[in-house]
Amino acid sequence: MTTQRRAIGAYGERLAARHLEGNGLELLQRNWRCAEGEIDLILRDGDDVVFCEVKTRRTTAFGPPAAAVDHRKVRRLRQLASRWLTEAGVRAAQIRFDVVEILPQPRGAARVHHIRDAF
């Protein structure tokens, strides 16, 4: 991954975290990694734990950012979430998988679209 793409991804994750915290979610962990992959954001929403994938794109020429979350990514995120819950010893009333799309704009603030229960 290029430095520019990494910077755009980090920018999107910062915006998504700020947006979600502004909507009352508590950030538990950012960029949790293990040998099998990474979870962008892990948050608490009341008694629920939310695993959030952040997708940032500069353009919608190839579809919306959430379109990049395919069945393989969904399967991996579910496995990673199970591992995180076990390792962290966290119990949740429910778990949820959200996607946050970030679309930077030529002028003004980036567009942020939060998709709850995305899968």
Task: Check which CATH number belongs to the domain holding 18 and give it.
Answer: 3.40.1350.10
- State if pTM tops 0.85: yes
What is the domain count for the chain? 1
Strands 37-45 and 26-34: antiparallel
**Tokens of residue 88, six digits:** 């962290």
Domain extent at residue 42: 3-115
The pLDDT tens digits along the chain (119 residues) read 689 888 989 999 999 999 999 999 999 999 999 999 999 999 999 999 999 999 999 888 889 999 999 999 999 999 999 999 999 999 888 999 999 999 999 899 999 999 999 99
Contact residues for 85 (Cβ-Cβ < 8 A; gap 6+): 49, 91, 92, 95
DSSP 8-class letter at 45 = E
- pLDDT tens-digit readout, 3-36: 988 898 999 999 999 999 999 999 999 999 999 9
Per-residue model confidence (pLDDT) at position 80: 98
Give the whole-number percent of the chain exceeding pLDDT 90: 82
